[in-house]
Chains A and B, each alone.
Chain A
Amino acid sequence: MTTSADIQWTTVGDSSEDLGSLATSVGPILQREPSTHWVGVRRGGVCVAEALREQLKAGGELGHIDISLYRDDAATHLPQPSTGPSHIPFEVEGKSILLVDDVLHTGRTIRAALSCLLDYGRPKRVWLAVLYDRGGRELPIAADAVGRVLEMDPDHHLEVTTGDDGLHVRRRGPRFNGPV
């Protein structure tokens, strides 16, 4: 049995550089649709959205959604230890929306996030921006803007956290000790 102390984390690289390249690819979207509103996927996506908005000096409002209730395995899994409320401070109907998440992997989180978002109204258009695309898709979902594409072992774990000095990203091997 592996304990949390045994888990070896490896730093992935400079997240501020990756954020910069994500900002570069989000730029044209905001130019085309200046009135775009933002929605971060809790909790990693919210940190990325906030950092990105600051970097781009972007307008538009920021909401956040929690996908726990929309997971396709919600009813067969143990309830998530932290179910949080969603909060969208603007009308979704007819808006252009930039959906932001930290990591794009199987695509299931984004599928759930879209289902949740559509329960608030019918947006005119939804764009997807992710800081990292680590491959391994299980659904036909692609991002419109990506910070960096990573080659990763399917059972490795990638984590983006936020600190006083910005975003941090690290990876580690398979998990043996249950849900994090």
Chain B
Amino acid sequence: MTVPISYYLVLAAVLFSIGVASFLIKRNIITIFMSIELMLNAVNLTFVAFAHMWHQITGQIFVFFVMVVAAAEAAVGLAIIIAIFRTRRTLNVDQVNLLKN
């Protein structure tokens, strides 16, 4: 039994939408950052599906570079989160509002 490529794309759309929803709903800065990773993973799945569809290896190379950049981004982002926690003593994004007033 073969699986249509569009099923993989719909699965990626489901994961991406859940990532968007949790990015907007979550209030913890670490969980917000994790939902960005979820969205990146969903996009990677579409890249792999299209690479399979066209029988091209380039899509997989693209996913490889996305993984590298995501790893670097996670390291820097978590360092920023630690710095924010050190100065503001909170992880709630609603309380990080110095620029608001």
A and B physically associate = no
A residues lining the B interface (CB < 8 Å)? none
B residues lining the A interface (CB < 8 Å)? none
